[in-house]
Structure 1
Amino acid sequence: MSDATAEPGESDAPDDRAGPLATLDHRMATFRADDRQRRIGLAVALVVGVGVAWLHWLGLVVAGALVGLTCRSLPRALAAGIGVGVVVLATFVLLSPTLAAGELLALGQPAYVAVGSALALPLLGSLTRGVV
């Protein structure tokens, strides 16, 4: 139907024409504006992300993306991604029955890969905030 023949009760709001992406963007903006919802969402995203990271290393990217989506801006999302990496490293060291933090670093190159991936992969996932 063209604009000239539109009924008087019909509205041509931008959200109606843009589709589901505009609706998602509006819902995420509303979610991020409410501090209480955002903090609860951040905590849930952290727990779910660490749980997924426990199952597979790609879960680190998912954890960073989930936490990054709850943040208000891209720099905060990047900081949250680094924070997830630190939480994952701390969880790994605390739950490892045989390795202390010093022993982990004494492993050499495998430790560098573990620390690097635990910090870099959630950071990569948190870049999702720049898109959404």
Structure 2
Amino acid sequence: MIVRTLAEAAKEGRRIVSPDGNWESTRLLLRNDEMGFSFHITTIYAGADFMLHYQNHLESVYCISGEGEVETLADGKKYPISPGTIYILDKHDKHMLRATKEMTMACVFNPPLHGKEVHNKDGAYELEAESIGG
């Protein structure tokens, strides 16, 4: 059994802050935990407005707190995000994420992240990244 707290994970170097200042993410479950997915608690800062395109991963995102919207770029549809909303990027959807109020999100990635990933120029995470603790 694996048991971790958010505070312990942050102290263990599992808290990653984006270089562009849009978000921070504490990665509670990673590839080296061998569960087949990773689980993160991510904060999207108020005023953030940025493009993402997870070409190598599928992601589910559940809003715990805050407000914003996600826009799918293929069709321009905008979806409001508020507590209790989940959005699922099941087709590697290229999208814009906007936070009108700071959002706390629970995120699941498949395949799992290694731990130190930040978005590349295309808004994606690389498949082979540096692992936390190794």
Larger Rg: 1
Q: Same fold (TM over 0.5)?
A: no
Greater strand share, structure number? 2
Name the TM tier (shorter chain): under 0.3
Greater helix share, structure number? 1
Q: Structure 1-normalised TM-score?
A: 0.28
Q: Structure 2-normalised TM-score?
A: 0.28
